Amino acid sequence: MRETHLLAGYDGGSPRAPRPIVIIGAGGIVRDAHLPAYKKARFPVWGIVDIAREKAQALADQYGIRNVFASVAEAVDNAPDDAVYDLALMPEHVPDALEALPEGSAVLIQKPLGHSL
């Protein structure tokens, strides 16, 4: 059954001042899910990072993202202080990425933290 109406209390509305998003990882989940969702929600993607910079650049070109980086450290050095970091990485890369982020950063991790139980 298709949901046509939100129940009271389920929609807090859009944020008045959405925070800039820095996406770390430029793989399929970012291409197929994160970026289309952010575009639909009109959330500002400030930058994108991938060790394969050309992958990040291709998505940046497609979605109008101005800032492209090949390292988390470079992105952090340039990112706005109020950035939200969206980590879309393989589990083995998450700890190093988290270590590179500023203390107290807002972080979204949607992938599992391991390949198996």
Res. 108 pLDDT band, cuts 50 70 90: very high
**Domain boundaries along the sequence of the chain:** 23-109
1-15, 25-39, 60-74, 84-98: range with lowest mean pLDDT? 1-15
User: What is the pTM for the complete model shown?
Assistant: 0.87
Handedness of CA 74, 80, 81, 83 (dihedral sign): negative
CATH code that applies to domain 23-109: 3.40.50.720
- Give phi and psi for 58, each to the nearest 5: -60, -45
pLDDT tens string 10-29: 666 788 899 999 999 999 99
Kindly report the three-state secondary structure assignment for every residue of 68-102: EECCHHHHHHHCCCCCEEEECCCHHHHHHHHHHCC
